[in-house]
Structure 1
Amino acid sequence: MLHNDELPPARILVVEDEPKLAALLRDYLQAAGHQVDCLDSGLAVEPAVRAAEPDLILLDIMLPGRDGLAICRDLRAFSEVPIILITARVEEVDRLLGLDLGADDYICKPFSPREVVARARAILRRRPRQAETGLQLDAERYQASFNGADLDLTPVEFRLLACLAGAPGRVFSRDQLMDRLYSDHRVVTDRTVDSHVKNLRRKLEQAAPGQELVHSIYGVGYKLEL
């Protein structure tokens, strides 16, 4: 059982092209109980997040292929995953630009790995605990359950639920959901999104009779209330 000051394990993506630093962060975060994946190229980040969204990203600004600020901006077009920028730049403009692009925090090199773990812990503490909401999501297996009942979702329905559950209470427009659901950027209509929402609602209703979890916001989009 988790005590009030303890956190469930999280999936953390470390994007850092310095192998020794990436290994150091991985070791400290794993010692704190988290699952850690590492990438060393900016070009690999968006496909990785679309395939299996982590709980937190530690993102270096200076990366080969694509810089961290551009990555942060692109991720915010379809994901609310928390992002901590790691930078060797100390100019205030870079810090402000990173936060304006949607980063949740930043930390400057050189830093203590313990400080990074503490910053990550502070951000992860804000996320709703799946066990408390009754919702369980397994991004690697594309499996979801609510109150112990398997939802039997299609991959698209799983991505839809994961998107909504990543920011409970936030209203997502149909365009935002379409970007999140289809990584190949295929052309789909609003009705396609509405159809997936309808199917997701039906399956949630089967697991939680009488509870309306996915709400329509007229003229805007959808949100999830847990």
Structure 2
Amino acid sequence: MNVLIADDDPDMLGIVSAYFRKEGFRVLPARNGQEALELSEEHKIDLAILDWMMPQRSGIEVCRELKRQQYAKVILLTAKSAQDDELKALESGADDYVRKPFEPRILILRAKKLLHLEDAVTLGSLRVDLRGGKIYREGADLEATTKEFQILKCLIEHKGQILSRKALLDQVWGYDYLGEERTVDTHIRRLREKVGESLIKTHRGSGYSLGMPDE
């Protein structure tokens, strides 16, 4: 999913962008309102996070234009605290309003809620329905088996970590499973045939981790 992040404070822009990239989003950074609008003309925007006070074009102006251009969720960031300001932000079309300073992880949670990602994860062209137990590519069900889905879900839940075969066996097959650890390799090979080779990384002698699919 494409996330447009616009803020004239380079430190804030870098921090927020890093958090969203870590969560697997494709980040489109902009240093002012005009850059934000130019990016919105070149890319489909799923979510825009806009600082209210920016040079050239304000976050309010960018929000209004975005809502005219395409369907995109918008979160406005501001140091303003008056209720009238919050009302103005929402009247401009913003879907949410976050006051500075804020905790980036809270912003991530609000963004996921807006995008209805609490029960689903998007990885490139893949959508993983965590509640329904399905994996889709561009809307098509890849018909992953229960074990294949559980392996991918486990890797998603431990993103950034390397999981050994034993750890995957314990979490997917259960602690009382007495089969060979190599069964994990067989299931991951079949899963890769469906989701793509780049999504699951092999770490020789260590195990597997979640990668990012090719854009």
Q: Which residue matches 2:208?
A: none
Residue-by-residue CA offset, 1:163-199 (whole Å, 9 max, x unaligned): xxxxxxxxxxxxxxxxxxxxxxxxxxxxxxxxxxxxx
Q: 1:79 aligns with which of 50, 67, 70?
A: 70
Counterpart of 2:84, as a letter, is V
After TM superposition, give the deviation of residue 78 of structure 1 in Å.
2.2
2:19–2:104: 8 Å Cα contact kept in structure 1?
Answer: yes
Residue-by-residue CA offset, 1:102-128 (whole Å, 9 max, x unaligned): 111010001111111111111121699
1:39–1:91 CA distance, 2 compared to 1 (3 A): same
Match of 1:59, SS state, is strand
Measure, in 2, the Cα distance between the counterparts of 1:113 and 1:147.
Answer: 33
Counterpart of 1:68, as a letter, is G
Measure, in 1, the Cα distance between the counterparts of 2:63 and 2:107.
Answer: 18
Q: Which residue matches 2:150?
A: none
RMSD: 2.5
Q: 1:111 aligns with which of 102, 120, 123?
A: 102
Identity of aligned residues (%): 29
Answer with 1 or 2: which has the greater Rg: 2
Residue-by-residue CA offset, 1:184-220 (whole Å, 9 max, x unaligned): xxxxxxxxxxxxxxxxxxxxxxxxxxxxxxxxxxxxx
Q: Which residue matches 2:180?
A: none
1:135–1:100 CA distance, 2 compared to 1 (3 A): farther
Residue-by-residue CA offset, 1:129-181 (whole Å, 9 max, x unaligned): 7758x783xxxxxxxxx759xxxxxxxxxxxxxxxxxxxxxxxxxxxxxxxxx
After TM superposition, give the deviation of residue 47 of structure 1 in Å.
2.2
Measure, in 1, the Cα distance between the counterparts of 2:137 and 2:64.
Answer: 29
Measure, in 1, the Cα distance between the counterparts of 2:51 and 2:109.
Answer: 17
Counterpart of 2:112, as a letter, is R
Q: Tell whether 2:41 aligns with 1:43.
A: no
Q: Which residue matches 2:45?
A: 54
Measure, in 2, the Cα distance between the counterparts of 1:111 and 1:49.
Answer: 25
Q: Which runs of 4+ in 1 moved over 2 A?
A: 126-132
How many positions carry a matched residue from both structures? 130
Match of 1:114, SS state, is helix
2:28–2:39: 8 Å Cα contact kept in structure 1?
Answer: no
Q: Tell whether 2:22 aligns with 1:31.
A: yes
Q: Tell whether 2:129 aligns with 1:99.
A: no
Q: 1:122 aligns with which of 113, 118, 127?
A: 113
Measure, in 2, the Cα distance between the counterparts of 1:126 and 1:117.
Answer: 11
Measure, in 2, the Cα distance between the counterparts of 1:23 and 1:71.
Answer: 20
Does 123-132 or 107-116 show the bigger shift? 123-132
Q: 1:68 aligns with which of 40, 54, 59?
A: 59
1:97–1:135 CA distance, 2 compared to 1 (3 A): farther
Unaligned runs of 5+ in 1: 1-9, 137-145, 149-226
After TM superposition, give the deviation of residue 44 of structure 1 in Å.
1.7
Q: Which residue matches 1:175?
A: none
Counterpart of 1:113, as a letter, is P
Measure, in 2, the Cα distance between the counterparts of 1:60 and 1:20.
Answer: 13
